[in-house]
Chain A
Amino acid sequence: MTTIAISDVSVPDESPIAIQVTRNGRDRVYRSTGYAAGWVTLVLMGLIGGFLLYRSFDAFRYEGLRFFTETRWLPNASGGVFGIAALLLGTVLIAAVALVLAVPIAIGTALFITEYAPRRLRKVLTSAIDLLAAVPSLIYGIWGASILQSKVVYVSRFLSDHFGWFPPFHTTPFSGSGHTTLADFSASAFLAGIVVALMSLPICTAVIREVFSQAPPGEKEGALALGATRWGVIRDVVLPFGKGGIIGGSMLGLGRALGETVAVALIISRTTNVHNLLQLLKTGGNSIAATIARSWSEASGIQTSALMAAGLVLFGVTLAINAAASFVVARSRSGAATEI
């Protein structure tokens, strides 16, 4: 046994050292490229808002604050009269119809996929719903205008005849004879709403399904062990847990529904008559995006600027709704977790 002199053992320096990262030239290029790509997104979003605002300046200067209250949309080469009110109202009404139809179906589908369906059917259904999202909106538009319309006019007439006391279903016929004909119900906001509902269904379903599938299994099993039925589990565990997801998914769907363009443009016959707009079943509706798409080819000068202003409003509204939706979804995920 040799003895070791105490001085031979190197005592580690107790003081902490700073971790230094040295990067070679390639890494620096790599990192700055990454940062640049990140900045592109930020800058692009800023530019979109900025340029729309800049190009719509003429329209805002011409109309002033009346732009937000005027219902007519009659811009012409020398100015004319135009305002966003009727367009925005029409957009909101179509989106509202879409949501009323899409959200219950989305909740049902999400519940079926997460709680009821056997594994194989679950895969098939998920694919089918995703496929619904992949179909181009243009095809929804021509399908809605030619196939769905011939069916929906009967539904509209039925609703108007038997539920006309409910204000949105009330329909005054175009001809003064007092009785509605099928022609009064074609190209309506209701029809556009149904088609938009189909298009926002996948995003609603996807978000809601995601949240439902994260419902704590411990609580679900606990409820089952206490003798609850499947509906009992859904009502007392899954739905309360998924409330945020339902709200968030609906809002994301709303964002999509508001921005829908060609499908709506191909289906509705545009009107800015507020009375007509409020009669959902009746021919005639409106939407910002559809107006832009439909009147773009004839626009020049201040008309272009007016359409830019309309686009800016649409951009702002969609952004606000999406921001709110992601906030709600994010909160529901972090806050609702349980200890089990």
Chain B
Amino acid sequence: MTTIDLANPDVEEDPDPSDAVAPLGEALIRIRRLDPDSVITYCGAAFSALALAWLIYERFAPFSGGLGFLVVAWTAFCIIVYSLCRQQWGKIAARDHLVRLLVASMAMLALIPLGSIVFTVVQRGYHGLQPSFLTHTMAGAASLSKFSQGGAWHSIVGSFEVVGIAMLISVPLGVMTAVFLNEIGGRLARPVRTLTDAMSAVPSVVAGLFIFAVLIQPQYLKATGFAGALAISILMVPTVTRTAEVVLRLVPGGLREASFALGGSEWNTTKQVVLPTARTGLVTAVVLGVARVVGETAPLIITMIGAQQFNGNPFRGLQDALPLFIWSDKVNSTGQGVVDTWMWSGACVLLAIVLVLFVAARVLGNRSGLGAVPRVRRQR
């Protein structure tokens, strides 16, 4: 206060404390915050855009439907914001505002379908989360049955067995490959890494065709849950490998060197230092791998076919899985009726499983302390 008074004797005591800190009369600028002018501009633009859209829609143009209204209103909003900003602050600032608006709406646009999917599946399928759906099978259920006469018990058990077997195959293989890439290395590591990337892009239907061509067509194996699990492993191994490799890479090299310095062998270092350090991250890798394959349908159509009744043995006889349950309901569905309700209920159960796995992966990933939250890879 006193310094300001000294510098500017005219200034009276200022009641606003924020000015007190400001050097020599310059006001503080808050960065990354919309100033009141912008807020007013945006509000005004929104209001006039809505009014304009209503005018165009209700009075002039022969359009109809809520979607069109939104598009018209949004376009008007963008144009009005641009012209208002241009008038006030000039061309460059106006362009900046326009781009910010466009980019933000792109990001929001990406979220609308996600909301719609989750909402639709839950709204149409919450019937599925009741005991009869989870304990009955489709044996004896037909399109004129009551909802409670059919269920997905056989599919849920099948899915768990198939994914369980796939885990038994692909978790050791995937983690071992990641250990190879990261701890052992050598000349082979480069081609293996490249091909793991390529393998994660193999269309899921091709994985099914491969197992069929190798094992089912020459009659080594019949269409069973085990064949489905093998097909799914092909999709799961690269996911586990890539995520696990990212996690292993985050283990500090000093820990390894300390282990070697204490006389640890390579195997001891990996077993007692690297893997325990990366444990939570590795669990995340496995969870992500499961989330990737639990909804896979195409390979199962080819290798498992599906079934209506309960079969707990994945090595013998046809078996069903949750995706196959939904698929066959959709193929047989007429768009309404009880088959449709079964389908949405199955979808709801499947989505719930995926969501639980996804959240588990996030929580574990955040807890791992390695700072790694690897992403779910796109599934086909």
Q: Flag if A262 contacts B194 (CB, 8 Å).
A: no
Tell me, yes or no, whether A86 is within 8 Å of chain B by CB. no
Tell me, yes or no, whether A326 is within 8 Å of chain B by CB. yes
Q: Flag if A34 contacts B179 (CB, 8 Å).
A: yes
Q: Enumerate chain A residues within 8 angstroms of B344, measured Cβ to Cβ.
A: 142
Tell me, yes or no, whether A232 is within 8 Å of chain B by CB. yes
Instruction: Tell me whether A143 and B117 are in contact in the complex, defined as CB-CB below 8 angstroms, given that A41-B199, A55-B213, A138-B347 are known contacts.
Output: yes
Query: For chain B residues 230-265, which have a beta carbon within 8 Å of chain A?
Result: 234, 237-238, 241, 265
Q: Flag if B205 contacts A138 (CB, 8 Å).
A: no
Instruction: Tell me whether A31 and B181 are in contact in the complex, defined as CB-CB below 8 angstroms, given that A133-B378, A293-B205 are known contacts.
Output: no
Tell me, yes or no, whether A109 is within 8 Å of chain B by CB. yes
Q: Flag if B188 contacts A137 (CB, 8 Å).
A: no
Q: Give the shortest distance, in Å, between B126 (CB) and chain A (any CB).
A: 15
Chain A residue total in the interface (Cβ 8 A): 101
Q: Enumerate chain B residues within 8 angstroms of A52, measured Cβ to Cβ.
A: 206, 209-210, 213
Q: Enumerate chain A residues within 8 angstroms of B161, measured Cβ to Cβ.
A: none
* Cα distance A65–B323 in the bound complex, in angstroms: 37
Tell me, yes or no, whether A275 is within 8 Å of chain B by CB. no
Closest to B214 in A: A51
A35, A113, A131, A140: residue with the most chain B Cβ atoms closer than 10 Å: A131
* Cα distance A45–B106 in the bound complex, in angstroms: 38
Closest to A265 in B: B298
Chain A 12-53: CB-based contact to B (< 8 A → 1; otherwise 0): 000000000001101101110111111111101101100110
Closest to A155 in B: B67
* Cα distance A292–B63 in the bound complex, in angstroms: 40
Tell me, yes or no, whether B184 is within 8 Å of chain A by CB. yes
| 14 CB-based A-B contacts, threshold 8 Å | A34-B176, A38-B192, A42-B192, A128-B114, A136-B323, A138-B350, A139-B117, A139-B326, A143-B117, A230-B96, A259-B202, A311-B205, A314-B203, A319-B201
Interface residues of A, Cβ cutoff 8 Å to B: 23-24, 26-27, 29-31, 33-42, 44-45, 47-48, 51-52, 54-55, 104-105, 107-109, 111-113, 115-118, 125, 127-143, 145-148, 151, 154-155, 158, 198-203, 205-206, 229-232, 234, 252, 255-256, 258-262, 266, 289, 292-293, 296-297, 304, 307-308, 311, 314-315, 318-319, 322-323, 326
